[in-house]
Amino acid sequence: MKEFLDIYQLSGCFANLPEDEMVYLSKHKTQVKYYKGEMLFKQGAFAPHVLFVNEGHVLAYLQIGRIKQLNLRILIQGDLMAFSSLFENQTHVYSAVALSDVTLCMIEKEALKEILLRNPDVALKIMERNCAEENRYLHIINNISYKQMRGKLAAALLYLSQEKFRNENIYEMLTRKHIADFAGITVESTVKFLKEFEAEGLIVLHGKDITISNEQTLQMIYKKG
């Protein structure tokens, strides 16, 4: 039990939750282990639980047709998935796959509702996270609709290189196709523009790893599209 309490305390959403309510939450969850590459849930499938990432890295994506997908975000320890199913969406609105070995806590929705009703501060923190996610999705729509390919790739690199991922070895888990699907462009274009960015001194490529060396210029490319 202590293991789960410690993990909940790591999450900004549950950090100030009283211990007795953490115990209550832990009693209404199921821990599930997934291995790298396993599908966690599929877009359109019934969503019976809210999912808490206990350990590992998860890729959330939209499936578009048979073979095309658009990567939305990477979730790490302390992140929640399928939270919208708590209220209106009874099915998953996106798919998720394990980028590494993953441990999830599947939380009963009614138990989580009870926690939120008792603790407005926790509810507010989760709302703040959801607003940040909504902004992320709006940026994706804007990038796909209006930006040229260099701007789309710059946006993807800036997202994947943000501070929360810097100690996660994210690029070691990603293929060039993953990056292409974050940018919404082809793999061939991704490889081409990565080489261009490196030649321009904007990034450093080392195997699968990508390090931004000129963030200001990359931000300018992203903003101008």
Q: Give one DSSP letter per residue of 159-192, joined into a string.
A: HHTSGGGTTTTHHHH--HHHHHHHHTS-HHHHHH
Which residue ranges does the chain devote to CATH 1.10.10.10?
147-224
The residue type of 153 is: L
Does the pLDDT of residue 25 top 50, yes or no? yes
Which residue ranges does the chain devote to CATH 2.60.120.10?
2-121
| Bridge partners, residue 33, by sequence | 103
Rounded to 5°, angle at Cα 162 from 225 and 33 = 120
Helix (H) or strand (E) holding 144: helix 120-146
Q: For residues 193 and 148, is the Cβ–Cβ distance under 8 A?
A: no
User: Would the pTM of this model clear 0.95, i.e. be above it?
Assistant: no
Does the pLDDT of residue 192 top 90, yes or no? yes
pLDDT of residue 2: 47
d(Cα 224, Cα 23) in Å, to the nearest integer? Answer: 49
Q: Which CATH number fits domain 2-121: 2.60.120.10, 3.90.1150.10, 3.40.50.1370, 2.40.50.100?
A: 2.60.120.10
Helix (H) or strand (E) holding 103: strand 102-108
pLDDT of residue 12: 60
Average pLDDT, the chain: 88
d(Cα 32, Cα 130) in Å, to the nearest integer? Answer: 24
Sign of the dihedral through C-alpha 171, 215, 202, 61 = positive
- The percentage of the chain sitting over the pLDDT mark of 70, rounded to a whole number, equals 95
Question: Residue 117 is encoded by which pair of tokens?
Answer: 């009703």
Q: Tens digit of pLDDT for each residue in 93-141?
A: 999 999 999 999 899 988 988 888 888 888 888 888 888 888 888 888 8
Q: 6: helix, coil or strand?
A: helix
Rounded to 5°, angle at Cα 133 from 25 and 137 = 145
Q: For residues 190 and 198, is the Cβ–Cβ distance under 8 A?
A: no
pLDDT of residue 28: 87
Which of 2-6, 13-17, 101-105, 129-133 shows the lowest mean pLDDT across its residues? 2-6
CATH class of 147-224: mainly alpha
